[in-house]
Amino acid sequence: MRNSVLVSVLAIFLLVSSASAREKKTAHNFILKNLNGQQVELEKLYGIGPIYISFWATWCKPCVEELLIMQKLYERHQDKGFLLLAINEDKAKGLSKVKSFVKGKKFTFPVLLDPDGDISRKYRVFALPYSVLLNSGGEVVYTGYGFKPGDEAAIEEKIEDLLIKETESEKED
């Protein structure tokens, strides 16, 4: 019993320290195809504004809830430079459904495909949804697992703070 408690505490410590370490570094670059087959490279999007990356799947109800709410945030802030990238983790067999699923939900943000899970492994995604918020320079400023209604308020606050910092930084230049 005592060993299991120690192992649990150690696992939590490693998880928290790992998340903290990730939050202080530049995001892993990737090149993925969007739903139209065009390649999108993360590093080429730096400098535009904050980037919210959501790892999701069509079968994941919290993922879909998150993206429906994030669609509204995207619409509110995209003209200020905010980008939302939704990286789909459905396996190759399910990819044919993704395009019609996205169209049916009226998502207007870029949806990228990661059918082999290569990028999710780079980001150490072990549960969906998994979200990463980057500043315009590609530095990870937030990561989070799961989503429940109400979480968007804190996320929007972080996005707005980044947008304000970007605007202030541009004025200084």
Element (H, E) at 73: helix 61-77
**pLDDT value, residue 171:** 61
Judging by DSSP bridges, how do beta strands 51-56 and 111-113 pair with one another?
unpaired
Tens-digit pLDDT profile for residues 124-173: 999 999 999 999 999 999 999 999 888 999 999 999 999 998 777 666 65
- Nearest CA-CA partner of 33 in 159, 158, 153, 119: 119
Tens-digit pLDDT profile for residues 83-131: 999 999 998 777 789 999 999 999 999 999 999 999 999 999 999 999 9
Task: Choose between 160 and 3: higher pLDDT.
Answer: 160
CATH architecture observed for domain 26-172? 3-Layer(aba) Sandwich (3.40)
pTM for the structure as a whole:
0.83
> Side-chain half-sphere of 153: how many Cα atoms within 13 Å?
3
pLDDT at 81 over 90: yes
pLDDT at 1 over 60: no
